[in-house]
């Protein structure tokens, strides 16, 4: 039987993103906390514009903790104070 930790996802919600931020920029920013499995910005399907939020999945709990344990409002990306919080649905 595989352990639960082998399948555990360390996912965060990232809010208040500038419209100029895409998947690549979000991944690059998030990688400063540790290894990133996946980073995606949510775009409006009709307009093609960013909805201003996205999600990042980290490979390790340490990276997840580094991203979420920092003080609220302490993250700045392209001039915006962004919100990073756990996206866990447990």
Going from the N-terminus, what domains does the chain have, and what CATH number goes with each? 8-79 (3.30.70.330)
The pLDDT of residue 1? 42
pTM of the model: 0.85
The pLDDT of residue 56? 97
Residues of the chain with pLDDT under 70: 1-7, 70-73, 88-90
The pLDDT of residue 66? 94
The pLDDT of residue 3? 46
Counting Cβ atoms within 10 Å, is residue 65 exposed (0-12), middle (13-18) or buried (19+)? Answer: middle
The pLDDT of residue 27? 97
* Torsion sign (Cα): 52, 12, 32, 67: positive
What count of residues does the chain have? Answer: 90
The pLDDT of residue 88? 67
Nearby residues of 65 by Cβ (< 8 Å), 6 or more positions away: none
The pLDDT of residue 71? 59
């Amino acid at each position: 039987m595989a352990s639960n930790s082998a399948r555990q996802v360390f996912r965060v919600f990232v809010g208040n993103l500038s419209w100029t931020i895409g998947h690549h920029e979000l991944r690059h920013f998030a990688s400063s906390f540790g290894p990133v499995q996946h980073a995606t910005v949510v775009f409006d399907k009709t307009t093609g514009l960013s909805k201003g939020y996205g999600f990042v999945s980290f490979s390790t709990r340490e990276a997840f903790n580094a991203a979420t344990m920092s003080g609220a409002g302490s993250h700045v990306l392209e001039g915006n104070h962004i919100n990073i919080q756990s996206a866990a649905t447990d």
